Structure 1
Amino acid sequence: MITRHRSFLTAILAAPLLLAGCSDEAETADGVAAGEPIPAIAAPAGTAWAETVTVTPEGGYLVGNPEAPIKLVEYASHTCGACAAFAAQGKPALKQQYIPTGVVSFELRNLVRDPIDLTIATLVRCGPKENMQPLADEAWAALNDIFARADANNAQLQASGNLPVEQRFIAIAQATGLIDFFAARGLSADQARTCLADRGKIEAIANASTKQSDELGIQATPTFLLNGSKIDANQWPQLEPLLQRAGAR
C-alpha cells in the first residue's frame, strides 16, 4: 500500500465532522467534438441497457452498455449538495432517455471528501451491484436529513474518532441514522455493520479516490468526464447539450 494513501485514510478517520464542501469550479478539457446522431444499439436478447451494471477496473459502477460510444463518468461525493442536485435533475433523464439506447453509459466514481462520505460510499456498495446507484441517489435525496442528524449527534461523532477502525464507521453510521436509513431500503443492519467493519473494503474506496484524484487532477465535485476528458459542465442543463453534441439523442 502506498504511504500517501494510508495517510489519507488516517486523516479522514481522525476528523468525523470535517465535511469538505463540494465546489462549482472544475478544471476542464477542450470542448466536446460535434458528431452526427448515433443510432440506437440493441441490448442482448432478454436484457435492457438501463438494467445492465458493470463494476469497472477503477472501482466505479457503470450503468448501460459497457461499450457505449459515449461514456459519461461522474466523480462525486456523497456529502456534496451539487452532486445531490445532479442526482435529482440529471439522473432521471439519463436513465429514461439516453442510457436505454445503448449509446450513452453512465459511471459513478467516488471522490471521498470526509468520513460520512466514506461511510455512505461503503454502504451503497454493500449489496448487489445493481443497487449501488439507486441507493446513492436515495442518500443524496436525504442529504439534509443526514446532516441534521450529524449536527444533533456531534458528540457521538467526535467520540467515534477514538474507536478502532473496525468500529469507527459503524459508530458514524449510527450517529447519522444511516444504519436505519439503509435498513429501510433492503440492506439489513447486520449487513451494514459487516461492511462497515471491513477495513480492506474501506481502504480500497479511499485509496482509489486518492489515486484517481491525483492522476486526473480532480479536486471538485461533481466533475464529469466525457469519453475520458474533463468537461466544462457540472449540472444537467449544461451537460445534456454536450451529450447531444457528441451524438446522443
Structure 2
Amino acid sequence: MRKLHYIAPLAFALALTACGEATEGETGANASGSVEAVEAPAGQKWSETVSKTDAGGIVMGNPDAPLKLVEYMSITCSHCKDFGEQAFLPLRDNYVESGQVSFEIRNFVRDPLDLSAAILSRCGGEAPFFPLTEQALSYQATMFEKAQSMGEATYSDILQSPPDSRFVRLAEQLGLIAFFQQRGISEDQAKACLADTAAAESLMDATQKAIEDHNIEGTPTFLLNGQKIDGTNWAMVEAKLKEAGAK
C-alpha cells in the first residue's frame, strides 16, 4: 500500500503540470448491431441511479447497461476539463438516460491539489458526485492561480504538516473548502473528509492499481467494456459508443 506521507516530497511544480495525453490502446468497441434502450424503473431516471463500484469509482446509469464506459480522470487535468465540458450533458441525456450506457468516473490522482479536490468531490456521497466533479473541473484555473500565488515555501510547509491536517490546510489555501461549501458541503464536513487519511490513501491506492492493471499513463483515459479506446475528446468517444451499437 502506498502510504500517505509519500506525497510530501513532491515538488511544487508537480501540482501545476498539465495532464498528459492518454496513450493509445485497443478498442473495446466492435460493431455488433444496435443496442436497445432500456427504460428505468417507474418514477426513476437512470442518471439518478448512482453507486460506488468495486474499483473505487462512481458509476451513473443502468447497472446492467450493455455498454460500460469508464473514464480515468484528474480534476487538475485540462483535457479532463475539456471532456467534461463537451461530454457530460450529451453523454448523460443521450446515452445514460436511455439505459444503453453506464458511465463511471475513477479518480486518477496526480498531485496533492488533485487529491484534495477529489476527496471533496466525494465528501457528500455518491449522489452529488457527478455535479460536484463537473463544477470542480470548472474551478481548475482559479485553483491553479491560488496555488501559484501560494508560493513554493508555503506549499512545502503544508506538505510537511501531519497527514490529518495537510489537505485541510491545502484546501483552505486553494479556496476549495469555500467552493464546496457553496455547493452543499459544510465547512465541518469538508474538513472531516480532508482529515480522513484512510480516504486519501484509498484514492492513491486506486490510482496505483489503475497503473498496474490497465497501464494508465495519462488522463483522461477511457475503457469501454473493459478495454482501452483511443481518443481523449467527446467526438472520438461518442464515435466508439456508436460503433458498439449505441444510438
Q: Alpha-carbon deviation of 1:201?
A: 1.0
Counterpart secondary structure, 2:68? strand
Q: 2:22–2:231: 8 Å Cα contact kept in structure 1?
A: no
Q: Alpha-carbon deviation of 1:14?
A: 2.7
Which runs of 4 or more aligned residues in structure 1 lie more than 6 Å from their structure 2 counterparts after TM superposition? none
Deviation by residue 1:57-98 (Cα, 9 ceiling, x = unmatched)? 011000101110000000011100000000100111111111
Aligned residue for 2:124? 127
Aligned residue for 1:173? 171
- Work out the number of aligned pairs and report it: 244
Aligned residue for 1:239? 237
Q: 2:60–2:104: 8 Å Cα contact kept in structure 1?
A: yes
> How far, CA to CA, are the matches of 2:10 and 2:172 in structure 1?
16
The answer to whether 1:199 aligns with 2:197 is yes
Amino acid at match of 1:226: L
Q: Alpha-carbon deviation of 1:16?
A: 6.5
Deviation by residue 1:205-226 (Cα, 9 ceiling, x = unmatched)? 1111111221111111000000
| Closer/same/farther in 2, CA of residues 31 and 54 from structure 1, 3 Å limit | closer
The answer to whether 1:15 aligns with 2:13 is no
> How far, CA to CA, are the matches of 1:80 and 1:122 in structure 2?
16
Q: Identical aligned pairs, as a percentage?
A: 41
Q: 1:54–1:66: 8 Å Cα contact kept in structure 2?
A: no
| Closer/same/farther in 2, CA of residues 200 and 16 from structure 1, 3 Å limit | farther
Counterpart secondary structure, 2:124? coil
Unaligned stretches of 5+ residues in structure 2: none
CA RMSD of aligned residues (A): 1.3
Amino acid at match of 1:15: L
TM-score relative to the length of structure 1 = 0.94
> How far, CA to CA, are the matches of 1:101 and 1:242 in structure 2?
17
Amino acid at match of 1:241: A
The answer to whether 1:49 aligns with 2:46 is yes
> Which of 208, 219, 235 pairs up with 2:217?
219
Deviation by residue 1:80-131 (Cα, 9 ceiling, x = unmatched)? 0000000100111111111000000100001110001000111111113111
Aligned residue for 1:140? 137
> How far, CA to CA, are the matches of 1:206 and 1:93 in structure 2?
30
Amino acid at match of 1:47: Q
Counterpart secondary structure, 1:224? strand
Amino acid at match of 1:159: D
The 5 Å alignment of 1:185-196 reads: 185-196=183-194
> How far, CA to CA, are the matches of 1:212 and 1:191 in structure 2?
28
Unaligned stretches of 5+ residues in structure 1: none
Deviation by residue 1:191-247 (Cα, 9 ceiling, x = unmatched)? 000001111111111111111221111111000000000001111011111101111
> Which of 223, 226, 229 pairs up with 1:228?
226
Aligned residue for 1:102? 99
Q: 1:169–1:197: 8 Å Cα contact kept in structure 2?
A: yes
Q: Alpha-carbon deviation of 1:31?
A: 6.0
